[in-house]
Amino acid sequence: MSVPIVHPLAVGVSVAGKKPTCACKGGNKVPVSGKILKVIKNHTGTWYYLDIGTTIKSEWVETVIA
């Protein structure tokens, strides 16, 4: 049984998910994982800036890595 992810996650948490390769519909998704360095909240939702240099939307996070 998995525990649901409650957003926003804290800075320093490691996450894994899939990020779209483009803004188009039906685009491919690539796996990303990293440690959250910054939490960004705006009108489009909650975003996480990861230590790998990319930003991921909270809905795209699939797992929290312990």
> DSSP 3-state assignment of 60?
helix
Q: Is the dihedral of CA 22, 25, 36, 8 positive or negative?
A: positive
Is residue 8 in some structural domain?
no
> DSSP 3-state assignment of 12?
coil
Cα dihedral 56/62/52/31 (nearest 10): -100
For residue range 6-59, list pLDDT tens digits in order. 889 999 999 999 999 888 887 899 999 999 999 999 999 999 999 999 999 999
Lookup result for tokens 């039906």: 26
Is residue 2 in some structural domain?
no
Is residue 28 in some structural domain?
yes
Domain that includes residue 56, residue range: 14-65
Query: What pLDDT sits at residue 14?
Result: 97
Query: What pLDDT sits at residue 4?
Result: 81
What is the number of domains present in the chain? 1
Is residue 43 in some structural domain?
yes
Cut 0.85: pTM above it: yes
Is residue 5 in some structural domain?
no
